[in-house]
């Protein structure tokens, strides 16, 4: 047996330059690895582009279109007793506060950004007052969306009987492992019968008309769909707070094993134990009461008020809604599939607004397909943004869209924050999901998909007003962007999946 002598080894001291490079590599790993645990391992979204998967493209409004949504989003259609489009904080905040103040049994409220300002103070007081009159109130907020130091103010709510939790409390919990997976949902549900979903957070800067505050959109529905929104909240509620038992990992393939290990220790916290009984038929029995919410239509001589209210029994088929949610612990992204199926289903016109536009591959294919089959496609994106890096990344995709005939408009002041899509004057999506990989694959998101010509036509009309106030980006102008911008677009390609 021959024993070889050990090879000489001498550790080189780390120079300041090598130390800096090592630090940058480690920092990058800490930023990118959490995202990689969610984005690449969403098996269906990886498999579909690789296999040249073709999504169904049945026209919006057909049974085939609805069957595709059933299959790809896992959602169910629910009847709507009334619906109202809410533009900007000017319309959304009063409606949300009214629902909170009129609630009799339960309130769930989930949001992302909360600023320490007058708007939040008004909402917090309304929630405390509701708890004081015996309403069961739950509030869920994301740690990343808080104004710095504001998280301690949740004690004000709990001291007044409100149940409050923080999603991903970072260094205070093991959930730092999913710190890159944010609860970006905005959901308010009162009594399981009225719900508001959209992109609007709590902040003075969103309390305006789109010019004096951020341009944003929400949708209020009444009917059985509100219960589906409440169920989405309860699922996220069970994932909030500290501890590791019952908390999902942002790796879909590992969750079945983790759930099996956690099962003996998990307490079911996904409902209202011992509280109000709920059933899907309750809203139909309360239809007359729901209609009184929008009685100002009749009082106004039959003319609809600003906000496009619809009622059960309106001309045509009854309005229907879906609540579609997605989370990083799923093997697919229902909000992503919802957007693609809606784009492929458009036949005449398609209006899209997105606060952050860095569209993944299949979404880009769908938009290009719509434009090339003569659908009038208009895209409203920010010209000024609170996250400049995202706009820089999105610009690289504008060229192929413009060449295909998509018209792109940039909102100038103050900031576009809406996430909407309306097609063919009969179908509308409003929610929290932007058209980027972060929303579809990393965040917890929720959307309402409403089938109703009254509200959809109003959404088209509002979009017309928006593009009149925006600046159109032409192909010639896009081609003249500078060398710095083009270089930045190429450099940012490796991290595009994080945005």
User: What is the 3-state composition of the chain as percent helix, strand, coil, each rounded to the nearest 5?
Assistant: 45, 20, 35
Beta strand pairing status for 106-111 and 187-190?
A: antiparallel
The lowest-confidence range among 219-228, 258-267, 292-301 is 292-301
**pLDDT of res. 469:** 96
Q: What is the pLDDT of residues 4-50, one digit of tens each?
A: 333 333 334 445 555 445 444 444 444 444 333 334 456 776 677 66
CA-CA distance, 157 to 54, in Å (whole number)? 49
Which one is predicted more confidently, 432 or 277?
A: 432
Cα pseudo-dihedral 485, 490, 496, 499, rounded to 10: -10
Q: What is the pLDDT of residues 240-275, one digit of tens each?
A: 988 788 888 887 778 888 888 888 888 777 777 655
Summarize the confidence of residues 277-305 as an average pLDDT.
41
Task: Give the CA distances from residue 491 to residues 87, 250, 336, 392, 488, in Å, rounded to whole numbers and listed in that order.
Answer: 37, 27, 25, 11, 5
CA-CA distance, 465 to 461, in Å (whole number)? 7
Asked if residue 158 has pLDDT above 90, the reply is yes
Handedness of CA 268, 332, 492, 398 (dihedral sign): negative
Beta carbons of 192 and 177 less than 8 angstroms apart = no
Beta carbons of 153 and 116 less than 8 angstroms apart = yes
Q: Minimal CA–CA distance to 440: which of 365, 363, 384?
A: 363
Summarize the confidence of residues 100-112 as an average pLDDT.
97
Q: What angle do CA 154, 155, 160 make, to 5 degrees?
A: 105
| pLDDT > 90 in the chain, percent | 59
Q: What is the pLDDT of residues 381-409, one digit of tens each?
A: 999 888 878 888 889 999 999 999 999 99
């Amino acid at each position: 047996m021959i024993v070889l002598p050990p090879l000489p080894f001498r550790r080189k001291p780390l120079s300041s330059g090598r130390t800096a490079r090592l630090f940058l590599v480690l920092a990058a790993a800490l930023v990118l690895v959490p995202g990689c645990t969610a984005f690449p391992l969403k098996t269906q979204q990886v498999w579909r582009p690789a296999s040249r998967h073709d999504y169904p493209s049945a026209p919006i409004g057909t049974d085939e279109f609805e069957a595709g949504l059933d299959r790809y989003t896992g959602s169910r259609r629910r009847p709507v007793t009334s619906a109202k489009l809410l533009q900007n904080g000017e319309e959304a905040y009063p409606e949300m506060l009214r629902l909170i103040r009129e609630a009799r049994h339960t309130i769930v409220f989930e949001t992302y950004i909360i600023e320490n300002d007058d708007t939040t103070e008004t909402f917090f007081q309304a929630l405390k007052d509701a708890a004081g009159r015996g309403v069961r109130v739950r509030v869920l907020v994301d740690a990343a969306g808080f104004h710095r130091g504001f998280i301690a103010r949740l004690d004000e709510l709990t001291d007044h009987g409100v149940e409050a939790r923080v999603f991903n409390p970072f260094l205070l919990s093991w959930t730092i492992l999913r710190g890159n997976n944010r609860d970006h949902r905005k959901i308010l549900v009162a009594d399981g019968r009225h719900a508001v979903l959209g992109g609007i957070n709590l902040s003075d800067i969103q309390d305006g008309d789109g010019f004096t505050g951020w341009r944003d959109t929400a949708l209020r529905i009444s009917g059985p769909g509100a219960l589906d929104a409440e169920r989405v909240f309860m699922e996220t509620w069970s994932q909030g707070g500290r501890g590791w038992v019952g908390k999902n990992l942002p790796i879909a393939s590992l969750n079945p094993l983790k759930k099996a290990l956690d099962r003996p220790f998990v307490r079911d916290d996904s409902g209202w134990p011992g509280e109000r009984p709920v059933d899907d038929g309750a809203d139909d029995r309360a239809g007359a009461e729901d209609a009184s919410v929008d009685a100002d239509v009749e009082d106004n001589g039959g003319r609809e008020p600003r906000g496009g209210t619809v009622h059960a029994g309106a001309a045509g088929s009854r309005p229907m809604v879906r609540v579609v949610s997605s989370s990083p612990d799923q093997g697919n992204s229902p909000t992503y599939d919802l957007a693609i199926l809606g784009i492929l289903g458009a036949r005449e016109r398609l209006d899209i607004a997105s606060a952050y536009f860095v569209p993944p591959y299949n979404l880009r294919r769908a938009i290009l397909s719509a434009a090339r089959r003569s659908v009038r496609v208009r895209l409203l994106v920010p010209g000024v943004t609170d996250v400049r890096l995202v706009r820089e990344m999105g610009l690289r995709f504008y060229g192929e869209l413009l060449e295909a005939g998509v018209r792109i408009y940039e909102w100038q002041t103050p900031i576009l924050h809406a996430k909407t899509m309306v097609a063919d004057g009969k179908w509308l999506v409003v929610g929290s999901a932007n058209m980027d990989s972060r929303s579809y694959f990393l965040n917890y998101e929720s959307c309402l998909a409403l089938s109703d010509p009254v509200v959809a036509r109003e959404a088209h009309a509002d979009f017309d007003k928006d593009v009149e106030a925006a600046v159109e980006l032409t192909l010639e102008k896009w081609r003249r962007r500078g060398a710095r911008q083009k270089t930045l677009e190429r450099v940012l390609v490796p991290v595009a999946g994080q945005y």
